[in-house]
Amino acid sequence: MNKNIKLAVAALLIGLGIYMMFFTRETGWGVVVFLLSALPIFLYFKNENILLAFWQMRKQRIEKAAHYLKNITNYKTQLHKSQYGYYHYLTGLTLAQDSPAKVEPLMKKALEYGLNMKHDRAMATLNLAAVAISKGRRQEGQKLLEEAKRLDTAGMMTDQIKMMKDQLKMPSMQKHMHNPHMRQRGKFF
């Protein structure tokens, strides 16, 4: 639903509540309708699809979270500016299993738009580090891992960061892999 429609519904409920309280002597119902107008105002700032996607991600149901995110057809008209980063962040997390190549631009956009929580920024930089390491950009991956470690103040991702650092210590297999068909052969024959 468009975010401006939510504000119109909230204004309509506020007007109806004031009308009921002062002009029809239905004070109780007027207060209820007036308080009910807080729901569309809340959903203006926190989109219901993003909230449901977060809930499904907590339950480890990535397919359902992706379904809720697909309900957002145009994020600039449906979301408040503070939610742009979380839309890209959640979309990147849902695509991380299936297509890791699409994760990097989404996480960069999420960090560019801004994420409120430090652990969300740490997770986004950790995903960027994983992509950089998988593409062979070791120095960039190392910098991103250090940044993720700095952002992870609660220590929730220490195991993942340690595992990624261990992967960095391993030699690149592409440089050390030998062709099995070239055993004991000379240079020219």
Over residues 59-87, the pLDDT tens digits come to: 999 999 999 999 999 999 999 999 999 99
- Tens digit of each residue's pLDDT (9 = 90 or more) over 134-183: 888 888 989 999 998 898 888 888 888 888 888 877 765 555 455 555 55
The reported pTM is: 0.80
Torsional class of 105: left (φ above 0), alpha (ψ -120 to 50), beta (otherwise): alpha
pLDDT band (50, 70, 90) for residue 188:
low
Summarize pLDDT for 93-143 with one digit per residue, the tens: 999 888 878 899 999 999 999 888 888 999 999 999 988 888 888 889 899
Q: 107, exposed or middle or buried, with CB in 10 Å at 0-12, 13-18, 19+? A: buried
Give 26's DSSP letter.
-
Alpha carbon distance 130, 92 (integer Å): 13
What pLDDT shows up at residue 40? Answer: 93
